[in-house]
Structure 1
Amino acid sequence: MGSLLHITNGDNFTKKLKSLKLSGDIITWREMLCEGKTENNVGSESFWKTRFEFLNKNYKVSKSTFINKTLKEYRSLCNHKKEDQIVLWFEYDLFCQVNLLAVISWLKTHRKYAEISLVCSGKEDSSDTLFGLNELTDEQLRSKFENKVILTQDDIEYADYVWQLYCSDNPIRLENLTDFKNYQFKYLEKSIQSHLHRFPSIKNGLNEMETNILKQAIDKKPQSKTEFLQVLLKNQGILGFSDSQFQRALVRLKPLFTSFNPVRLSQKGKLILKGDTSYYSCIQQNDVYLGGALKYNFLFNSDTNKILKL
C-alpha cells in the first residue's frame, strides 16, 4: 500500500476522520464554490482573487481569515506531492458536489500520477433519507473507506469537463449533459439539476430556493427568525447550505416580509408565491454569479425544465 492523503469536505468531518486514526495526512477543502463566481483554473492566482472578492463582499471574510483558513490549507495540499493514493471524502449535496468537481479538476492537472478514490455519503439504508458523513458511525465510515470507489481516468476527465461547464458563462451547456450514469458520481446529476433551478423562474422571478423560503414561511408559520432558519435548513432539499447562505437570501427577500418575529409575508410576497406577479425586476442584480454565469441573464422554465437566455 502506498502513501495516503485524505481530502475532506470541511472542518467538522476532518475532526471525525482524525478520530478514526486511519493512516495518511488530512487536508480540508475550505471553500463554497456553489456560491459566487468561479473560474475553471482551480488554484491559480486569478481563481483565488475572484473567490476572495466574492467572500469578502458577501460574507465579510477578511484577507487574513482567507489566507489563514483557505489559502493555508490549499498550500498544504500543494506541498503534499509524495502521496500516490488520494481519498476524497464528500457528500451528496450541491455544496459538496461542486467542491468535489473543483478538487478533481485540480488533481487532474497537478497529481496525474496518483490513484484517486472517492468516499461519498448519501443513501445509506433502505429509507429515503440522505446522510452526511458526520451522521455516519465510525463503523460505517470504516466500511465506506474499505469500499471506496477508485476513479478511472474517464471519471476524472468527466468531472473536469463538468467543472469547465459549471464555470462557463452559459448554463444551457450543463442542461444538455445526459451521460451521468456512465461515471462514478451517483449524486452529480441531481446536484446539477438543483443548480439549474437556482436561476430565476419565468413564473415569479425567484429561483426554487427563494420560492421555497416564501412557502416555508406560509406553511410552517415560524414565530421567530431563529426558528425560521431552522425550518429552512431542515427543508432545503439537496442544497447542503448553512444558515449563512439563508441569512443572505433573507436580506434579498426582506421586502417580501412584514416581519421576521413572528415570520409574516407581505401581500406582495403572497402574490409572488402564487405566481400572480414577478419579483424579477426588483431583485435583479448585474453582478450575481452562479458558477461562471450571471444569474439574472437567464430564466428557468419549470414547465419544460429548460433554461432560457435573455
Structure 2
Amino acid sequence: MSSLLHITNGDSFTERLQQLNLKGDVITWREMLCEGKTLTNVGSESFWKTRFEFLHKNYKVSKSWFIEKTLKEYRSLCNHKQQDEIVLWFEYDLFCQVNMLAVISWLLANRKYAQISLVCSGDEDDSDKMYGLNELSDEQLLGLYKKKTLLNQDDIEYADYVWQLYCSDNPMRLENLTDFKNYNFDYLGDAIQSHLKRFPSIANGLNAMENNILKQAMEHKHANKKGLLGTLLQNQGNLGFGDSQYERAINRLKPLFTGFNPVRLSKKGKEILEGKTNYYSTIQDNDVYLGGALKYNFLYNTNVDRILKL
C-alpha cells in the first residue's frame, strides 16, 4: 500500500485521476450528504442505517447496491490505516462541500496523525464561471495538485465543527458563523449560504431551488422535461446537483404545472412564483431533513437573509 491516499468526490473524477498517474491509492466518497438526514458520527452503524433509509425511500437505492457501492468503498477507506498523507479532491459547490466536511470529520476521529491536504476547484480564471474538477485540463489539475492546501489542525477542527452544526436540529447556528475567511476553505461560506436558502421562504413557502425551477420553466419555453432539466443544471448556482435530484424536486412541484410536453406552469404556479399566494401548507412534509434539521420547521426571510424558527 502506498503511504499516500487520495479521496475523491465521485466515480467519474476517480477515473480521471487514475489517468493522471499520480502516486497513491484512490478511494471514492460515494454519498450525497447534502440531501436527507445526517448524523454527526460519520461511518457509525447508525449513520449508515440513516443514510440507507433515506436513499432507499427517495432514490430507490437497493440494499445490495448500497453495500456494493458505498459501504465497500467506505470499508476500503477504513482499511487504509497506514497512509500518513491524505489528499482530498472536492469542488466549490454545496454537494461537494458537505461531503468534504463529513470526510474531514471522519479523518479527525480516525486518522489523527495523517497530514491532510485539499485540492478544491472553482474560481480558476478571470471569467465568472466556476469549474468542476472534470472540466479542467490535465495540466490545470496537475497545477492545482502542486498548489494543494495543507490543512492545519485549526482548519480540520473547524470543518468538524461546521459538520456538527450542519447535523444539528437548528440551522440558525450555522447562520451565526462568520469566520470562514480565517480558514483554508475558500468556498465553504457560499455553500453554507446556499444550504440555508434551501429552507422554505416566507414569501411563498418554496425554497430558492424550488423557486428557480418555476422561474426557469416560466422564462423558457421547454418542449419537454428533459429540456427543463438541462436548463436547471446549467442555471443552478453553486448547488452542484444532478438529474435525479432535480427530477425529485420537479415531482414535488408537479401540481404547479399543467404538463411537461410542453412544460407549462399552471395559474397557481404563476401566482406562487409571483408571491401572490403561499404554497407552504400544501408542500409541507414533516419527514424532510436538511442535515439534522427538519426543513419545514424553519422559514427563510429573503428580505433580511435570516432563518426563522416556526
Q: Which TM class, normalised by the smaller chain length?
A: over 0.9
Aligned residue type for 2:225: K
Which stretch has the larger CA shift, 56-65 or 214-223? 214-223
**TM-score of the aligned structures, taking structure 1 as reference length:** 0.99
Deviations 1:24-61 (A, max 9, x none): 00000000000000000000000000000000000000
Tell me the amino acid that sits aligned with residue 182 of structure 1. Answer: N
CA-to-aligned-CA distance 1:255-292 (integer Å, 9 cap, x gap): 00001110000000000000000000000000000000
For residues 108-158 of structure 1, give each alpha carbon's deviation from its aligned partner in whole angstroms, at most 9, with x where no partner exists.
Answer: 000001000000000001111100000011111111111100000000000
* Structure 2 residue matching 1:232: 3-state secondary structure: helix
Instruction: Show the counterpart of 1:180.
Output: 180
Matched, 1:193 2:212: no
The 5 Å alignment of 1:272-291 reads: 272-291=272-291
Counterparts of residues 94-113 of structure 1 (less than 5 Å): 94-113=94-113
- Cα distance in 2 for partners of 1:194, 1:18 equals 32
**Which residues in structure 2 correspond to 1:163-174 (within 5 Å)?**
163-174=163-174
Residue identity matched to 1:170:
N
* In 2: Cα distance, 1:7 partner to 1:260 partner: 39
**Displacement after TM superposition at 1:250 (Å):** 0.8
Q: Which runs of 5+ in 2 are unaligned?
A: none
Whether 2:87 is the aligned partner of 1:87: answer yes
Give 1:221 shift. 1.5
1:117 partnered with 2:117? yes
TM-score, normalising length: structure 2:
0.99
Residue 303 of structure 1 is matched in structure 2 by 303
The superposition leaves residues 80-110 of structure 1 with CA deviations (integer Å, 9 ceiling, x where unpaired) of 0011000000000000000000000000000
SS at match of 1:259: strand
Find the counterpart in structure 2 of residue 46 from structure 1.
46
Percent identity, aligned pairs only, is 74
Q: CA deviation at 1:3?
A: 1.7
Q: Which residue of 2 aligns with 1:9?
A: 9
Question: Which residue does 2:143 correspond to in 1?
Answer: 143
3-state secondary structure, aligned to 1:198: coil
Partner of 2:248: 248
Question: How many residues are aligned here?
Answer: 309
**Partners of 1:305 and 1:250 in 2: CA distance:** 25
Report the AA paired with residue 100 of structure 1: M
* Alpha-carbon separation, structure 1, partners of 2:184 and 2:220: 38
Three-state SS of the structure 2 residue aligned to 1:6 is: strand
Aligned counterpart, 1:152 = 152
Amino acid at match of 2:210: E
Q: Report the Cα distance in structure 2 between the residues aligned to 1:220 and 1:238, rounded to whole angstroms.
A: 21
Tell me the C-alpha RMSD between the 2 structures: 0.6
Counterpart of 2:181, as a letter, is K
Paired AA for residue 241 in structure 1: F
Compute the displacement of 1:220 (Å): 1.1
Q: Quick one: which amino acid aligns to residue 133 of structure 1? A: L
Inter-partner Cα distance in structure 2 for 1:147 and 1:110: 26
SS of the residue corresponding to residue 253 of structure 2 reads helix
- Which residues of 2 match residues 57-96 of structure 1 at below 5 A? 57-96=57-96
Structure 1 alignment gaps of length 5 or more: none
- Counterparts of 1:118-133 in structure 2, within 5 Å, are 118-133=118-133
Which runs of at least 4 in structure 1 moved beyond 3 Å after TM superposition? none
